[in-house]
Amino acid sequence: MSGPASTGQCARVEDVSKLFGSFAALRQVSVELELGKCYVLIGENGAGKSTLLRILAGLLRPSFGTVTLFGHGEPQTVRERVGYMSHAPMLYDELTGQENLRYFSKLYPGRECLDPAEALRQVGLDPNLPRPLGHYSQGMRQRTSLARVLLSFPELLLLDEPFSNMDVESARQMVELLAQFRHGSRTIVITTHQRELAAPIADYVLALKAGRVASFEPGSPTL
């Protein structure tokens, strides 16, 4: 099942299956993603949400089927236009938020990057906060992880469980933050077990079950 076609297409997934040995993590998944929209992927553990996200990020290759990103048939060739945030923050606890981002910005040699201090401001954090990341709240850690993703000016944001271990207020603040990026014409794909948290920004909701598309429906965004 696929979403409605769009002249402003960001990604197209066609009949994608992913096998790990004899286990099929994805089974003939097809979906189209429009530019500037937010897609929420839901499903139980093992439904294939994270696998689909990693394929879109170019971190995994499909066993069968094709993926087109920004008109290119090889996602690896446009990875600089994609920002991927895993469910576990890829950050160093002994460094401050700004020190973390300065380190990661050096991993993009020859490319223009967002200033680390500005990236932190964009996610609502004080770039001059002196304490190391190990002393941040979970919400602050997730925001810092999002700031790291923003360094490369991504047009497609892939966020794996961004509300993980957050309290209700921190999750609400994260949703409001993502709403700002969505209005800035970025395409956002979120995986979550908590559909109600992402509902205010969900243009479409994609449900996976046992690696297959169970439903693909318009959302009712309010932000």
Q: Tell me: the pLDDT tens digits for 119-138?
A: 999 999 999 999 999 999 98
Domain containing 192 — which CATH number?
Answer: 3.40.50.300
Domain tally, the chain: 1
Which pLDDT score, from 0 to 100, does residue 6 have?
43
Does residue 189 lie within any of the structural domains?
yes
Does residue 2 lie within any of the structural domains?
no
What is the rounded average pLDDT for all residues in the chain?
A: 91
**Per mean pLDDT, which range of 1-10, 185-194, 198-207, 210-219 is the poorest?**
1-10
Residue 3: band (very low, low, confident or very high) from pLDDT cuts 50, 70, 90: very low
Does residue 51 lie within any of the structural domains?
yes
Unique residue bearing structure tokens 């602050």: 140
Does residue 68 lie within any of the structural domains?
yes
pLDDT more than 70, % of the chain: 96
Structural domain boundaries, residue 16 = 9-218
- Helices vs strands, H then E, count in the chain: 6, 9
Per-residue buried b or exposed e for 31-61, using 16+ beta carbons within 10 Å of the residue's own CB: bbbbbbbbbbbbbeeebbbbbbbbbbbbbbe
Which pLDDT score, from 0 to 100, does residue 183 have?
73
Q: Mean pLDDT over residues 56-77, rounded?
A: 90
- CA torsion sign, 39 to 194 to 140 to 90? negative
Which pLDDT score, from 0 to 100, does residue 55 have?
96
* Residue 68 bridge partners (DSSP): 12
Does residue 3 lie within any of the structural domains?
no
Does residue 112 lie within any of the structural domains?
yes
Does residue 4 lie within any of the structural domains?
no
Does residue 223 lie within any of the structural domains?
no
Position 126, amino acid: D
Which pLDDT score, from 0 to 100, does residue 80 have?
84
